[in-house]
């Protein structure tokens, strides 16, 4: 973050791969769907790099491992309905919080920062998951992959989150695990911090253009607090 720039007033936080390791839930739901279609289970190692572009792409990619595009198109509607049913039946059962998430959210709140969750997960999956894991009370707004006409990496979800807060993007930091989050945030004019422990489509987090890599959300809270202390001295 640029020294001397305006203080940060809000933080937009990604869900999958940033707050929760949800790959075990994706494994259960995708394999439930695949079983119904007569397909063998796939491993977490195969699933992990597929996560991040929303349910539609994930379901398609999980079928394209075995079938050609025409067959996937023909089965898609039933496959998606099955995937959603399986996902909602196990949502959160196998997912775990990353270290520093709850402490980091509490620290951000103590700094007076306003918090929004922007995920590519469908909103019908995201809301019960955040509630189950004790994360919902921290967020003023939650936007899913189907909350806007376009998903991350488009700027639209980040711009929508800033508009909902009525805060200019230049006073907002987005934190995520993937190039999706960073591209969306940069296109909107927000700062970007990345975490190194998530999915990033199977690519090293160091390849992402960002304002820094943080170890955890708690580390991010410390960085933002230090930035704001400097900004208040220079403004």
Q: Which residues bind ligand PGA (CB under 6 A)?
A: 14-17, 51-55, 119-121, 152
Which range of residues in 89-97, 141-149, 169-177, 216-224 is near Mg ion by CB under 5 A? 169-177
By C-beta, is 48 or 53 nearer to ligand PGA? 53
By C-beta, is 4 or 207 nearer to ligand PGA? 207
Structural tokens at position 220: 């991010």
Smallest gap, in angstroms, from Cβ of residue 131 to ligand PGA? 16
- The 10 Å Cβ neighbour count of residue 130 is 22
Q: Is the peptide bond before 56 cis (omega within 30 degrees of 0)?
A: no
Euclidean distance between the first and final Cα of the chain, in Å? Answer: 15
14 near Mg ion, rule: CB under 5 A: yes
By C-beta, is 172 or 231 nearer to ligand PGA? 172
Point out the catalytic residue in the list 14, 21, 25, 211. Answer: 14
- Which among 192, 197, 187, 132 has a CA at the least distance from the CA of 157? 187
Q: Draw the binding track, 134-153, toward Mg ion (x: CB under 5 A; -: no contact).
A: --------------------
d(CA 158, CA 146): 13
Q: Please indicate whether residue 14 is annotated as part of the active site.
A: yes
16 near Mg ion, rule: CB under 5 A: yes
Smallest gap, in angstroms, from Cβ of residue 200 to Mg ion? 8
- Which residues carry a binding-site annotation? 14, 16, 177
By C-beta, is 17 or 160 nearer to Mg ion? 17
């Amino acid at each position: 973050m640029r020294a001397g720039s305006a203080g940060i007033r809000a933080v937009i936080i990604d869900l999958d791969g940033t707050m929760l390791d949800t790959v075990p839930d994706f494994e259960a739901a995708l394999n439930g769907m695949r079983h119904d279609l007569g397909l063998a289970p796939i491993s977490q190692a195969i699933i992990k790099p597929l996560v991040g572009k929303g349910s539609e792409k994930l379901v398609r990619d999980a079928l394209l491992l075995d079938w050609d595009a025409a067959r996937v198109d023909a089965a898609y509607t039933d496959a998606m309905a099955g995937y959603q049913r399986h996902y909602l039946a196990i949502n959160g059962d196998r997912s775990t919080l990353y270290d520093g998430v709850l402490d980091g959210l509490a620290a951000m709140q103590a700094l007076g920062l306003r918090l929004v969750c922007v995920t590519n997960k469908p909103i019908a999956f995201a809301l019960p998951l955040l509630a189950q894991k004790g994360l919902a009370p921290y967020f003023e707004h939650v936007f899913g992959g189907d909350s806007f006409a376009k998903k991350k990496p488009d700027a639209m979800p980040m711009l929508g989150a800033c508009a909902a807060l009525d805060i200019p993007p230049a006073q907002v930091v987005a934190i995520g695990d993937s190039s999706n989050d960073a591209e969306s945030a940069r296109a909107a004019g927000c700062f970007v911090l990345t975490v190194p422990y998530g999915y990033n489509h199977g690519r090293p987090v160091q390849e992402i253009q960002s304002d820094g890599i943080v170890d955890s959300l708690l580390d991010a809270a410390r960085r933002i607090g230090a930035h704001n202390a400097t900004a208040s001295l220079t403004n």
